[in-house]
Amino acid sequence: MYEKSISSAVIKRLPRYYRYLGDLLENEVVRISSKELSEKMQVTASQIRQDLNNFGGFGQQGYGYNVEYLYNEIGKILGLDKQYNVIVIGAGNLGQAIANYPDFEKRGFIIRKLFDVNPRLIGMSIRGVDICDIDELEEYVKHNKVHIAALTLPKNKAAQIASDLVSWGVKGIWNFAPIDLRLPKDVRVETVHLSDTLMRLSYSLKEMEE
């Protein structure tokens, strides 16, 4: 399979290709040359050709890329042709923001439930998705296939909940708590470190002033 040899740098760039191609599709662009795509994305045309050659190359000489085809193929590579059952642990603002984001569902990430400890939130629903008592989490996960759990809870609780979820069979963790989770090797974790990005911003603002 071609996937095995792809460097993680290329993988990191794929969602960006997917976004740009999605925008082109929305604007009803049918085909694009690597030169035009390169100008839009501000990477070199040769970088684009190299990256896409990893997957056999979808371009045709003199024609360029068929936008819809390339969009769908990259989608498949990213696993976006499948459906993922997602639960959100922590139904505060951030958890609700995730449940409210319409693009996730469009890409196959279906938010099934939110869980929280706060009795004022439990029983409410966000875009039709129920907020359940965290006490029901174990039973839910054991009886329903959960592909991804998003953790939007304080860091002192995130590690324990993550390891519970993993012991109940969850293999995908989308972590928003400011902590590096240590989980078994067969679990996939993506952490969004909000405050790290803010600190990088203050660093570069400070550097600019000096």
Which class for 131: exposed (0-12), middle (13-18), buried (19 or more C-beta within 10 A)?
buried
Q: How far is CA 78 from the centre of its chain?
A: 10
177 touching a copy of itself, by CB under 8 A: no
Near a copy of itself by CB under 8 A: residue from 12, 119, 143, 184:
12
11 touching a copy of itself, by CB under 8 A: yes
Nearer to a copy of itself, 27 or 61 (CB): 27
Cβ–Cβ under 8 Å, residues 104 and 92 = no
CB of 107 to a copy of itself, least distance (A): 7
**d(Cα 65, Cα 74) in Å, to the nearest integer?**
12
Nearer to a copy of itself, 65 or 84 (CB): 84
Stretch touching a copy of itself by CB under 8 A, among 59-67, 138-146, 161-169, 171-179? 171-179
**d(Cα 94, Cα 121) in Å, to the nearest integer?**
13
CB of 62 to a copy of itself, least distance (A): 29
96 touching a copy of itself, by CB under 8 A: yes
Nearer to a copy of itself, 34 or 175 (CB): 175
77 touching a copy of itself, by CB under 8 A: yes
Nearer to a copy of itself, 143 or 206 (CB): 206
CA distances from 129 to 62, 97, 119 (A): 48, 12, 16
**d(Cα 188, Cα 98) in Å, to the nearest integer?**
19
Can you state the angle between helices 8-26 and 45-53, rounded to 10 degrees? 110
- SS3 state of residue 65: strand
Binding site for a copy of itself (CB under 8 A): 1, 3, 11-12, 14-16, 18-19, 41-42, 77-80, 82, 84, 92-94, 96-98, 100-101, 103-104, 107-109, 147-148, 171-172, 174, 178, 180, 182, 186, 188, 190-208, 210
